[in-house]
């Protein structure tokens, strides 16, 4: 049996903790069953954003007549697009391994606990006073053995389909559907409900639905009740909520219907570690599980399932374990974005959450057309929605839809993190006519409403 100061299970964001501990002179083991780097650079946010870059250019050309410019696409080299993305993905693991050497001992294999402080990998027992679980999540299984999940897109193996059906209504489904449609692959999104991105503020998700479905053929209130795969093609039976049936065909079928905890692969029955009702690992305010010295960070805990949250947690846990920090990490505000067309960014409460929790608020929704930079896009759907505490002027929520929303919202985040008073957004000086200038009328409007109370 080998003994370490720290064992990290999962080579995603947890690898940063392993590396920093190793550089600090700790004896560290890192266990990863597949490619180092985790979901984000291998099968998630990074390669999906690389694809979205191609989608943005293709859409700009297709929609150039909005700017009185006639243009057409002569060719989209899908083979080159996927080769470039596959090459990036295929190099991720090696780049991470190079970073780890010589500070971290890497074990390639599946980790299983044999006791609270002992882990088995490849038939070898490892022990450590501190063990960190950073095993992330996996896609829910596809509805047919030949169908894909998002894991099958990065890297994409085999023939590029000429048509694809995507099942789901969340950000993974919408981002991938936007890409495939934009680059000329016959795409259809199948949605069981009548909404897209249902976790977003209802007003914003409605705008998104209206704009998104102008480009991507989307079938709402519909489920797939039967799938057959013959002659390299899926034949699907679709049924609406009203019971109407129809047939639909495509070369590829992709399910993006949610993600599951990987906790069931870790042999936790051999420990005192507990799971919540969804199968995610329980932890206290210091990231510690029910087993002393065993910690969980990132998606494995089921909280804030976002890469930037996982990175923040890993960094803070390192300070807790090795720098004597003894205070719980509090996420004041957790932002997120949806990188599709349209783009969405959000932080804080949605209006439906505020109503559900009986939280007092004033809200306003403003367009962006006061900014000439926005006018130059020749789009008119862009919106900023604020929810503000009328007693303190505290921003309870901010929701944006429009180009570069994920960048623009950082101005709001800065104010929220400093002392969270929306009046700063009204009083500050904006560069004219920068895109961020569109925030000003939104702040002015909600403050006017508060002052009239």
Question: What sign does the dihedral 382-388-394-399 (CA atoms) show?
Answer: negative
- The CATH number of 150-257, from 3.50.50.60, 3.30.530.20, 3.40.50.150, 3.40.1360.10, is 3.50.50.60
User: Which has the closest alpha carbon to 352: 206, 453, 217?
Assistant: 206
Of the listed ranges 81-85, 136-140, 321-325, the one predicted with least confidence: 321-325
Output the average pLDDT for the chain.
95
Question: What sign does the dihedral 385-391-393-396 (CA atoms) show?
Answer: negative
Q: How confident is residue 303, by pLDDT bands cut at 50, 70 and 90?
A: confident
What is the mean pLDDT of the segment spanning 233-242? 97
Cβ contacts of 354 within 8 Å, gap of 6 or more: 361, 387, 396, 397
Percent of all residues in the chain with a pLDDT value above 90, rounded to a whole number:
90
Superfamily of domain 2-139+260-322 in the CATH hierarchy: FAD/NAD(P)-binding domain (3.50.50.60)
d(CA 7, CA 105): 10
- Helices 202-215 and 171-182 pack at an angle, to 10 degrees, of 20
CA 57 to chain centre: 22
Check for a shared fold between 2-139+260-322 and 343-451. no
- Which 3 state secondary structure label does DSSP give 13? coil
User: Which has the closest alpha carbon to 169: 94, 255, 101?
Assistant: 255
- pLDDT, tens only, 154-191: 989 889 999 999 999 999 999 999 999 999 999 999 99
Cβ contacts of 66 within 8 Å, gap of 6 or more: 378, 379
d(CA 169, CA 191): 6
Whether pLDDT at 393 is above 90: yes
Q: How confident is residue 114, by pLDDT bands cut at 50, 70 and 90?
A: very high
User: Which has the closest alpha carbon to 192: 217, 213, 167?
Assistant: 167
What is the mean pLDDT of the segment spanning 130-143? 95
Q: In which residue are the tokens 């949610």 written? A: 258
What is the mean pLDDT of the segment spanning 374-386? 95
CB 159 within 8 A of CB 35: no
What is the mean pLDDT of the segment spanning 210-225? 97
Residue 440 phi/psi, 5-degree rounding, is -55, -55
What is the mean pLDDT of the segment spanning 207-231? 97
pLDDT at 278: 95
User: Which has the closest alpha carbon to 209: 225, 189, 179?
Assistant: 189
User: Which has the closest alpha carbon to 405: 438, 379, 440, 429?
Assistant: 438
Q: In which residue are the tokens 């990987």 written? A: 262
pLDDT at 338: 97
d(CA 350, CA 354): 6
Query: Under CATH, to which class is 343-451 assigned?
Result: alpha beta
Whether pLDDT at 15 is above 90: yes
Q: At 364, list the tokens.
A: 């306003």
pLDDT at 371: 87
- pLDDT, tens only, 251-279: 999 999 999 999 999 999 999 999 999 99
> Could you tell me the CA-to-CA distances from 353 to 263, 349, 397 in Å, in that order?
29, 6, 10
Q: How confident is residue 43, by pLDDT bands cut at 50, 70 and 90?
A: confident
pLDDT at 35: 87
* Residue 86, burial from CB neighbour count under 10 angstroms (0-12, 13-18, 19+): middle
d(CA 104, CA 32): 12
Whether pLDDT at 365 is above 90: yes
CB 344 within 8 A of CB 178: no
d(CA 248, CA 99): 47
Radius of gyration of the chain (CA): 24
Q: In which residue are the tokens 């570690």 written? A: 273
The neighbour count for residue 429, using CB atoms within 10 Å, is 6
Whether pLDDT at 42 is above 90: no
d(CA 10, CA 37): 9
Q: What is the pTM of this model?
A: 0.94
Cβ contacts of 120 within 8 Å, gap of 6 or more: 111, 112, 113, 114, 126, 267
Structural domain boundaries in the chain: 2-139+260-322, 150-257, 343-451
Whether pLDDT at 63 is above 90: yes
Percent of all residues in the chain with a pLDDT value above 70, rounded to a whole number:
100
The neighbour count for residue 148, using CB atoms within 10 Å, is 20
pLDDT at 44: 87
Q: At 96, list the tokens.
A: 């991470």
Q: How confident is residue 220, by pLDDT bands cut at 50, 70 and 90?
A: very high
pLDDT at 330: 86
Residue 427 phi/psi, 5-degree rounding, is -90, -20
Strand ranges in 191-300 using DSSP code E only, listed in sequence order: 218-219, 222-230, 233-240, 245-250, 252-255, 259-261, 294-296
Residue 129 phi/psi, 5-degree rounding, is -70, -35
User: Which has the closest alpha carbon to 151: 311, 40, 307?
Assistant: 40
- Helices 14-23 and 307-322 pack at an angle, to 10 degrees, of 30
């Amino acid at each position: 049996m080998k003994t370490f100061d720290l064992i990290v299970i999962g080579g995603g964001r947890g690898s940063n903790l392993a590396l920093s501990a190793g550089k600090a002179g700790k004896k560290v083991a890192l266990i990863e069953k597949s490619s180092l780097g985790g979901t984000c650079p291998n099968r998630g946010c990074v390669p999906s954003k690389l694809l979205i870059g191609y989608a943005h250019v293709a859409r700009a050309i297709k929609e150039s007549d909005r700017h009185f410019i006639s243009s057409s696409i002569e060719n989209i080299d899908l083979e080159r697009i996927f080769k470039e993305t596959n090459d990036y993905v295929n190099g991720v693991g090696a780049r991470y391994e190079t970073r780890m050497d010589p500070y971290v001992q890497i074990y390639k294999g599946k980790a299983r606990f044999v006791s609270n402080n002992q882990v088995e990998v490849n038939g070898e027992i490892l022990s450590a006073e501190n063990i960190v679980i950073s095993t992330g999540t996996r896609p829910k299984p596809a509805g047919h053995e030949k169908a894909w999940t998002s894991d099958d897109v990065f890297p994409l193996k085999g023939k590029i389909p000429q048509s694809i059906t995507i099942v789901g209504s969340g950000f993974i489904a919408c981002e991938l559907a936007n890409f495939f449609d934009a680059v000329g692959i016959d795409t259809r999104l199948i949605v069981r409900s009548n909404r897209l991105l249902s976790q977003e503020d209802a007003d914003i998700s409605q705008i998104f639905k209206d704009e998104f479905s102008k480009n991507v053929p989307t079938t709402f209130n519909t489920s797939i009740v039967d799938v057959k795969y013959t002659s390299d093609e899926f034949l699907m039976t679709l049924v609406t909520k009203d019971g109407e049936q129809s047939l639909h065909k495509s070369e590829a079928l992709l399910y993006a219907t949610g993600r599951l905890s990987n906790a069931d692969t870790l042999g936790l029955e051999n420990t005192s570690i507990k799971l919540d009702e969804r199968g995610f690992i329980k932890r206290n305010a210091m990231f510690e599980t029910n087993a002393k010295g065993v910690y969980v960070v990132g998606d494995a805990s089921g909280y804030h399932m976002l890469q930037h949250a996982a990175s923040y947690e890993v960094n803070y846990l390192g300070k807790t374990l090795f720098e004597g920090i003894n205070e719980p990490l509090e996420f004041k505000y957790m932002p997120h974005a949806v990188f599709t067309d349209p783009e969405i960014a959000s932080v804080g409460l949605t209006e439906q959450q505020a109503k559900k929790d009986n939280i007092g608020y004033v809200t306003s929704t403003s367009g962006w057309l006061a900014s000439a930079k926005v006018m130059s896009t020749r789009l008119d759907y862009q919106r900023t929605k604020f929810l503000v505490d009328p007693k303190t002027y505290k921003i309870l929520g901010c929701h944006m839809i429009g180009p570069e929303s994920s960048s623009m919202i950082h101005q709001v985040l800065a104010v929220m993190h400093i002392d969270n008073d929306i009046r700063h957004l009204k009083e500050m000086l904006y560069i004219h006519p920068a895109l961020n200038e569109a925030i000003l009328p939104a702040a002015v409007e909600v403050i006017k409403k508060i002052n009239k109370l």
